[in-house]
Amino acid sequence: MLSIGKLSAATGVKVPTIRYYEEIGLLPEAERSAGNQRLYRKEHQERLAFVRHSRELGFPLDDIRELLSLSDRPDMSCAAADVIASRQLAAVKDRIARLQALQQELERMLTQCAQGTISDCKVIEVLSNHENCLHADHGEGCHSVHPGHDC
């Protein structure tokens, strides 16, 4: 039986975060000691490790909730888990592509900056002028944009 502090140390998840996970139903309610303190076992530790690893992989808590409910039913097909992971993979690839474009643009900004005054600083200039930017439009087009604005 682990205290919440030990569980935290064992999993690398902070104490208030563990309580938060319990509160939102991601972890079951812990047993309590005579003095009302939470007590955990190996199975809780494993579940929490699962959550932590999934979070590190970028899964939102709702997806983790779903994955947990899947792993509780080991006789089901894993197609659902596959779908979640695929969705996540697509999101990761998309984020990488966007970030690489941003990286290019930031590098361009920085190499052009002549270390002069603000009035000829390319950083500010690039940020001011949307026209000659590289970073927009990767795949599904310019997101969250109003009609009439083409970036």
Answer for which of 42, 46, 62, 82 binds DNA (CB under 7 A) is: 62
Q: How many CA atoms lie within 13 A of 148 on its CB side?
A: 1
Answer for which of 72, 144, 148, 150 binds DNA (CB under 7 A) is: 144
Q: Considering the rule CB under 7 A, would residue 148 count as an interface residue with DNA?
A: no
6-35 footprint of DNA as x/- string (CB under 7 A): x-x-----xxxx-xx---------x--xxx
Q: Which two tokens stand for residue 93?
A: 């690839």
Q: Considering the rule CB under 7 A, would residue 37 count as an interface residue with DNA?
A: yes
CA dist 32 to 39, 126, 135, 144, Å? 6, 58, 53, 47
Work out whether the CA dihedral 102, 106, 111, 117 comes out positive or negative: positive
Q: What is the DSSP string of 51-73?
A: HHHHHHTT--HHHHHHHHHHHT-
Pick between residue 35 and residue 116 the one whose CB is nearest to a second copy: 116
What is the smallest separation between the CB atom of 112 and DNA, expressed in angstroms?
A: 25
Cα–Cα distance for residue pair 140/94, rounded to 1 Å: 10
Q: First CA to last CA across the chain, in angstroms?
A: 57
Cα–Cα distance for residue pair 122/48, rounded to 1 Å: 47
Q: Which does 20 bind (CB under 5 to 8 A by kind): a second copy, DNA, none?
A: DNA
Give 136's DSSP letter.
S
Q: Considering the rule CB under 7 A, would residue 136 count as an interface residue with DNA?
A: no
Applying CB under 8 A, the residues found at the interface with a second copy are: 8-12, 14, 46, 49-50, 52-54, 56-58, 67, 70-71, 73-79, 81-82, 84-86, 88-89, 92-93, 95-96, 99-100, 102-103, 105-107, 109-110, 113, 115-121, 123-124, 127-128, 130, 133, 135-136, 142, 144-149, 151
